Structure 1
Amino acid sequence: MSLAPLGCGSDFEPPLVAGKAVLTLGAKQLFLDTGNNGETAVAFDEDNQRSWYTDCGVKGDGLEVMILNDPIREKKGFWGITLRASHALDEDAWNVSANLGDDVLSGVCQLNHKTTRDKDLYEGELSVAACIVKDPTPDPDGLQEGRFDAFVRAKRCVL
């Protein structure tokens, strides 16, 4: 999927994408909060319209959400997350993979919570708790493993 600016070309009307994520590395916690208590779409600065990038979509029976913001990279510790949820081989099991910014810590996580709206199957919520994410490659800064907690609410804007 291509990366789309916030609003997906709809006169900067934000799509329904909100989320919070916490990456715990030992005693250190890094935060990314894109909404107002998870109740509203992500905030953006009209003078710098490309600060926030979001992309969300439904592929088959899976849901993917990307939330990226380069300017907050130094302030927040990591600048973006990608969550993907899809059916595992067992129809009753859902797996989530999480990818976090430049350090590319990723893992396949059990989905803690998933809902879809009755009126719109392309709108849903995903959450994972205490998912272990790892860096599969040698990392000079020693960032190898962390715990990832996230909640994301999304509505399809790009397929």
Structure 2
Amino acid sequence: MTRRQYCNPPIEEAVCEFRFAPGQAWNFTVPDLFYEKVRNLYTGEPQQQNLIATEFRFGQMPYSPTHKTHTRIAELGADNETYKYAIEWLKQLRTIVAVNKMWWGEPLVNLSFDSEIVFEWWHGTKKLTVYILGNTAEYIKVWGTDIDNEMEDGTSSSPGELTALWKWLVS
């Protein structure tokens, strides 16, 4: 079989995240069960990826979104200035959310190749991504696929800007 040649080559790797509703049973056999369902659609061989970080907690523990997020950022090994600003930015956002009694969800936390700390939230059909590097927080708001009409970017550091940004996400 001859491979098709494309003007723009197809992606070589795709990373996806699965979110499960709280309380659903999950164990280490779930990925194998998923592969069994899609094996006829996927012609490649499964590949093992090395685990970068994991956390196991047992017993009753108090829920603290801020603590969990802080721990995740620290594990990512962000540089000191970016780390400190990300913690302060997140504390400021959490205070605004608590004072205004708004919805809160744990962000997906990543570290970019440029050592930016990246927070991502989804609420309904909206997505908010915040990139923190040094003492700067830049965001991208997404509410559709049209990059000209359904996405917006900017910076957010003042309490007013943070409040407006979060109100947009939860509206």
Q: TM-score, normalised by structure 2?
A: 0.32
Higher alpha-carbon Rg? 2
Higher relative contact order (CA 8 A, sep 6+): 1
Please give the TM-score of this superposition, normalised by the length of structure 1.
0.34
Q: Indicate the structure with greater strand content.
A: 1
When you count helix as a share of all residues, which structure comes out higher? 2
